[in-house]
Structure 1
Amino acid sequence: MHSRAIIRERGNTTKRYRLHPAQVVVSGFALTILGGTALLILPNARVGPGGASFLEALFTATSAVCVTGLTVVDTAVYWTPFGQVVILLLIQIGGFGIMSFASVVGLAIARKLSLRSRITAAAETKSVGLADVKGLVFGVVRISLAIEVTVALLLALRFMLGYGEPVGRSIWLGVFHSVSSFNNAGFALFSDNLMGYATDAWICLPIAAAVILGGLGFPVIVQLRRQLRRQGRYPRHWLQRAWSIRTWTMNTRIVVAGTFVLLVLGTAYITAVEWSNPNTLGPLDWQGKLLAGFFQSVQTRTAGFNSVDIGQLDSATLLGMDVLMLIGGGPAGTAGGIKITTFAVLFFILWTEVRGQVAVNVFGKRLSRAVHREAITIALLAVGVIIGATAALMLMTDISMDALLFEAISAFATVGLSTGITAGLPWEGQVILILLMFIGRLGPITFASAIALRERHATYELPKERPIIG
């Protein structure tokens, strides 16, 4: 019986084509963007007669799903409440992850995940195995909702008590900016983004906290949450709790340490360079300058909110922010860029070569050579894409290279900061930004999962030869 089944199966010439998990993720994001575009084109999504143009809707939907925040129209006045709700849902779905969102729906309906669903969800969330996908997905849902609800309440209370906004308006402002900040999207419901609240710590700090937590990446947040719960059950001396950091994974240590260092350096650099700039931090008192400098350093790490006029920043500040945007935040989260871990691996490779050592060691562990190749490849691909896009934009416009490079990096790193040139770009330039946002959001995910699932081991090696380097 078994042999006959095998013969019939072999005799069947019909082949079923199955998409690679990375292709499923890309297709999911693309279909979601197209669905969002269709909703935003509807006449009731736009204020005034008629609907938005296809390019306006496509650009906004792509920016929302890819949690970027670049806009070609004023979100606060161009879109109706219906359009703003669509944008909010696209941000939430895009930040959470298309396949992760589909997994939650599947679990809610069928109470289980198929093997293929687990594979695609693992490809998107960068799970270390298929067994932990279900727990990770539910953990992400709980953590996301807890953070977003907390930040929304704080912001709603501030808008209501501090600015006299009606209750309904305050709740809507709190919810929208909470979801936008935790998902590192950078969309705001004010025409000047958050420039009107540059010195209001009750607005800036909760948003900054949500951005930082979202930028850590879900695997890091889940591990930190588990450790805090464990310590709550078994309280220990603070020295013992500090020593438990040694139990963190290498990924968690790199992301937490890198986030702290980059936030401090970014705050110091932006504040120092812009301290006397009359168009940015100059008119503020020293407390306001520190708050605005810190807030902008946080947002440069892929969130996209701005409390100062980005177009008035010094060229040196823009260059420093280019570096911070390109590095980005933690992997498998809502942040963009090449990721802190990629940058850290490149740094440790450089440090090892400078010291004349062979093995690259990080926090007492040796890095696999496959990780070296992945980090170098992702970094070089990112630089190549950004340079190519910037050159194309320079051929289309007379805008300075500083502004165009900033715009290209902001789109690729899904940051959303802009010097104010987005809406003025020709349609070809806006299409380039759309492609940059899509590639920036999905490129690293697709590439990493493709490597992990298609790694092949050669049965032979070619003879070695070494070219002259340097």
Structure 2
Amino acid sequence: MRAQQLGRLGRVDRRSWLGRARDAIDSLVKSSPSRFAILIFASLILVTTLLLSLPIARAGERSSTPLADALFTAVSTICVTGLTTVDMATYWSPFGNAVIFIGMNIGGMGVLTLASILGLVISRRLGLRAKLMAASDTNPSRIHVGPVAERQAVRLGEVGGLLVTVAVSTLTIEAVITLGMIPSVLAAGHDLGTSVWYSAYYSVSAFTNTGFAPNVGGPVEFFDDYWFQSLMMVAVFLGSLGFPVIFALSRLWRNPRRWSVHVKLTLATTGILFVLGALAFLVLEYDNPKTYGGFNFGKTLFEALFMSMMTRSGGFSTIDMADLYPSSLLVSDMLMFVGGGSASTAGGIKVTTLAVLFLAAFAEARGAPSMEAFGRRIPRDMLRLAVSVVLWGATIVAVSTIILTQMTKAPLDFVLFDVISGFATCGLSTGFTFDLPPEGKYVMAATMFMGRVGTVTLAAALAASQRRQLFKRPEERPIVG
């Protein structure tokens, strides 16, 4: 009898411990969803760092990985950046590669979406707070100023469907791309097991816009395989669109008129940047003997399209980025800084941010009272948010560039290229990152983390609360321009 009472007391205590833990998590989510998301992301990086630091994670000699390299690789993996300080094809053991493979998929789901999924596992349901947190990944203004009146890419009632779409679309797209790549890897001379592994790795790395390569030669091994490179471009494109766009297209692909402004702006801006980027590389690099100078027009055009897609956050390259002309490096900087779509595996300030800025400039030039796109009016709050994102991003890039330039005394164009690549979680590199000293690796890791977490989420996390002001000060207009 006494034993039964003690057993019941133990169960009560155990339930109360779990209840206290759940209450603490709920309190953190309610007080600041963005901080909870950042905490989850930082925890994943810490766990990945510990796993990659184990001797079993390193190939060959059974010595532990230096902390700077383990942390940098963990951040690059979870942030789906693709920058490396070690040779990814030879440095890691099968265990280390498995950790990186899983980490790319987890990181590709996004900060807020991932936090919502974990919250769903904990509470076994999606409450209003969790829905707001998940919806903020499709529209950051929910975190910034709360629910907004304009039509959203995903409404709160559809968040559960969005999370299902995230999981299903990720697995489906990666599986299809993997199957399509296997024949190309087999044709390159690899056995079946290696071909399946390389194809799956490339598929995940491309869809999550990471840019890691499992083979020694990287994408250069498939330089003349247009099918393989085309599949990489398709995977990067789908990953950079964003899950809200994929979710909308999966439901309304037959009725474009019902697409939201977010979907239309994302598709239109992505297409324009893709074409303009390819034209820029085609014109600027056609006579560069180190890149496209020795190719015929067809090959040059295809590689320009490939480079335009990869600079949007893909991170793969078939040429040495250090061989590009300075003008092409600058174009790459611009494309990387913009990045892909909101709530996507891509980084950068996002294409819709750029679209809002251009719409605001166009409206100002016409003297229009508000921004309009596709028959819809866009609130001015979106302009303030877009300007904040750009300023935060530019500040992060500027500070990191100054620190790393002073630290390494490397050429500015190479430092700026790799810093923007890190901030925008792109992964392309001139070789500057690989040769960083340990302290430089920590600076670049911080840049990647801030770029992936998102400037809006980071700003919202730093602001514990919004102050309500019950009065207005006298208005006065400064001279601008």
- TM normalised by structure 1 equals 0.89
Matches within 5 A, 1:269-308: 269-308=280-319
In the alignment, residue 265 of structure 2 is paired with which amino acid?
A: I
RMSD of equivalent CA atoms: 2.2
Q: 1-side partners of 2:121 and 2:75: how far apart?
A: 27
**Match of 2:412?**
401
**How far 1:92 moved relative to its partner?**
0.3
Structure 1: how far apart are the matches of 2:53 and 2:163? 32
**Equivalent residue number for residue 210 of structure 2:** 185
Cα shift at 1:102: 5.6
Give the conservation status (yes or no) of the 8 Å contact 1:148–1:179: yes
Q: Which amino acid aligns with 2:64?
A: G
1:351 to partner: Cα distance: 1.5
Instruction: Give the aligned length.
Output: 441
Q: What per-residue deviation string (whole Å, max 9, x for no partner) do you get for residues 43-69 of structure 1?
A: 111112212111111000100100100
Shift of 1:261: 0.5
Match of 2:170 in 1: 144
Match of 2:378 in 1: 367
Q: 1:350: how far off?
A: 1.3
Q: Is the 8 A contact 1:123 1:449 kept in 2?
A: no
In the TM superposition, residue 123 of structure 1 has moved relative to its aligned partner by: 3.5
1:157 aligns with 2:169: no
Aligned to 1:23: 35
CA contact (8 A) 1:198 1:308 kept: no
Decide whether the 8 Å contact of 2:252 with 2:258 is kept in 1. no
Check if 1:132 corresponds to 2:158: yes
Q: Which runs of 5+ in 2 are unaligned?
A: 1-22, 140-152
Runs of 4+ in 1 over 6 A off after TM superposition: none
Secondary structure at the counterpart of residue 202 of structure 1? helix
Percent identity at matched positions? 40
Superposition pairs for residues 273-352 of structure 1, below 5 Å?
A: 273-352=284-363
Residues 125 and 375 of structure 1: CA distance in aligned 2, closer, same or farther (over 3 Å) = closer
1:69 paired residue among 46, 63, 82 = 82
Cα distance in 1 for partners of 2:463, 2:163 equals 20
Does structure 1 residue 442 correspond to structure 2 residue 468?
A: no
Deviation at residue 137 of structure 1 after TM alignment: 0.1
Counterparts of 1:352-391 in structure 2, within 5 Å, are 352-391=363-402
The answer as to whether partners of 1:281 and 1:289 remain within 8 angstroms in 2 is yes
Q: From 58, 63, 71, give the equivalent of 1:46.
A: 58
- On the 8 A contact 1:408/1:436 being kept in 2, the answer is yes
What's the TM-score, normalizing by structure 2? 0.87
Of the three residues 32, 37, 40, the one matched with 2:49 is 37
Aligned partner letter, 1:21: P
Aligned partner of 2:17 in structure 1 is none
2:443 matched residue in structure 1: 432
CA deviation after TM superposition for structure 1 residue 135, in Å: 1.0
Distance in 2 between residues matched to 1:109 and 1:397, nearest whole Å: 45
Distance (Å, rounded) in 2 between the aligned partners of 1:452 and 1:380 = 17
**Residue 450 (structure 1) shift:** 5.8
2:470 corresponds to which of 453, 459, 463: 459
Alpha-carbon offset, residue 459 of structure 1: 3.2
Query: Offset of 1:119 from its aligned partner?
Result: 3.9
Does structure 1 conserve the Cα–Cα contact (< 8 Å) formed by 2:57 and 2:95? yes
SS at match of 1:361: strand
Q: Quick one: which amino acid aligns to residue 196 of structure 2? A: I
Aligned-partner residue type, residue 88 of structure 1: F
**In 2, Cα distance between the equivalents of 1:108 and 1:439?**
26
Separation (CA, whole Å) in 2 of partners of 1:69 and 1:109 = 31
Tell me what 2:219 maps to.
194
**Aligned-partner residue type, residue 56 of structure 2:** N
2:233 counterpart residue number: 208
Superposed displacement of residue 460, structure 1: 2.7
Of 365-374 and 355-364, deviating more is 355-364
Residue 166 of structure 1 is aligned with which of 191, 208, 212? 191
Letter in 2 for 1:51: S
What SS does structure 2 have at the residue aligned with 1:75?
coil
* Residue 235 of structure 1: aligned partner: none
Change in CA separation of 1:170 and 1:58 when aligned onto 2, cut-off 3 Å: same
Structure 1 letter corresponding to 2:178: A
**Contact 1:302–1:325 (CA under 8 A) maintained in structure 2:** yes
Match of 1:262 in 2: 273
Matched residue SS, 2:214: coil
- For structure 1, the residue ranges without an aligned partner over 5 or more in a row are 1-14, 232-243
The alpha-carbon deviation at position 110 of structure 1 amounts to 7.1
